[in-house]
Amino acid sequence: MEREKALELVKKQLTEHRYQHTLGVMETAITLAAQYGADVKKAELAAIFHDYAKFRSKDEMRSIIVTEGLPQDLLAFNAELWHAPVGAYLVENEAGITDREVLDAIRYHTSGRADMTLLEKVIYLADYIEPGRHFPGVDEVREMAKVNLDRALIKAVQNTILFLMKKNQTVYPETFFTYNDLINKLED
Ligand code: DGI
Ligand code: FE
Ligand code: FE
């Protein structure tokens, strides 16, 4: 699908603020993909659609998780996690995107997973460091992303886990699997 068509479809799903975030993720994902050798067109498409389901109601997302065989353990964790797998489902079934790599990059953009593909890493990190993001530690991750994708990703996942723990929030096991797998594979 062409960029213009994808942007037109996604704009209808989002607020103006979230659409601007999406444009930032798109530009950042293209840069990271070119830098680290991921497929630039797939990165562009996954970035455009990554938050497609962000404004669906909790009821709609819960019902999709239950009826479409998405991981049921999500229901016991923060609903903020749901838009990623539900987004992958809707992007396939409403927007007609069939590329498995693109759909998985959308599916895992919030929690990550063990054994992330290069494209999944690019989208996770682009979502975290796009120019519209302003939170403590983001500049450090931006600098790391210029040098080492995996180290930047580890920092982003660490920051996310620490942020959740400081707020006494639960951490979805998949997020810990992401962290543990990246640390296990770290070479130095
Ligand atoms: O959708 P975005 O705001 O662009 O970013 P995102 O898809 O990374 O979602 C971030 C939200 O998800 C944020 O509020 C923190 C939450 N989150 C991420 N990982 C976990 C999580 N919440 C819980 N409970 N557990 C997690 O592991
Ligand atoms: Fe998201
Ligand atoms: Fe996002």
Q: What is the pLDDT of residues 125-142, one digit of tens each?
A: 999 999 999 999 999 999
Domain hosting 44: range is 3-134
pLDDT tier at 187, thresholds 50, 70, 90: confident
| pLDDT per residue as tens digits for the range 98-114 | 999 999 999 999 999 99
118 falls within a domain: yes
36 falls within a domain: yes
Angle between helices 83-93 and 58-67 (to 10 degrees): 70
80 lines ligand 1 (CB under 6 A): yes
Q: What is the pTM of this model?
A: 0.96
- Answer yes or no: is pLDDT of 43 > 80: yes
151 falls within a domain: no
- Answer yes or no: is pLDDT of 188 > 80: no
15 falls within a domain: yes
Nearest CA to ligand 1 atom 19: 111
Q: Which atom of ligand 1 is nearest to the CA of 124?
A: 8
Ligand 1 centre distance from Cα of residue 81 (Å):
6
Nearest CA to ligand 1 atom 11: 80
Q: Number of structural domains, the chain?
A: 1
179 falls within a domain: no
33 falls within a domain: yes
172 falls within a domain: no
